[in-house]
């Protein structure tokens, strides 16, 4: 699985998190990743779970921490990142 697919999932998670935090009023606009680490491969057919957590709230931005796990026994961390989303 291309690493870009994981980043796409992180973008989807950021949108969902911004909508939840704003009460459905603002989906945010992804500005940049500050850090991305690909720690292990994922392959077609793997089940991947993504988590996202706001780690800093600015006046017009949110810094979000992301993690992607390959599901199975054991669950394995495959990617982690920090990104910034701009909100209105």
What pLDDT sits at residue 72?
85
CB half-sphere exposure, 81, CA atoms < 13 A: 25
What pLDDT was estimated at residue 21?
83
pLDDT in tens, 16-40: 999 998 787 878 889 999 999 999 9
Could you give the CA distance from residue 88 to residue 71 in angstroms, rounded to a whole number? 35
pLDDT band at 73 (very low <50, low <70, confident <90, very high): confident
- Mean pLDDT in residue range 57-70: 94
Range of the structural domain that residue 15 is part of: 3-86
CATH number for the domain harbouring residue 44:
3.10.129.10
**Which helix or strand (DSSP H or E) is residue 15 part of?**
helix 3-21
46-60 mean pLDDT: 94
Per the prediction, the chain carries an average pLDDT of: 92
Helix (H, G, I), strand (E, B) or coil at 19: helix
Contact (CB, 8 A) for 2 and 71: no
How many domains is the chain partitioned into structurally? 1
């Amino acid at each position: 699985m291309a690493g870009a697919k994981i980043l796409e999932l992180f973008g989807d998670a950021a949108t969902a998190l911004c909508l939840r935090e704003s009460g459905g009023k603002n989906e945010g606009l992804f500005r940049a990743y500050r850090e991305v680490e690909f720690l292990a491969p994922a392959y077609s057919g793997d089940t991947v779970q993504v988590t996202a957590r706001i780690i800093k709230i600015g006046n017009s931005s949110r810094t979000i921490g992301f993690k992607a796990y390959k599901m199975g026994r054991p669950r394995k961390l495959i990617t982690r990142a920090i990104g910034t989303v701009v909100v209105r």
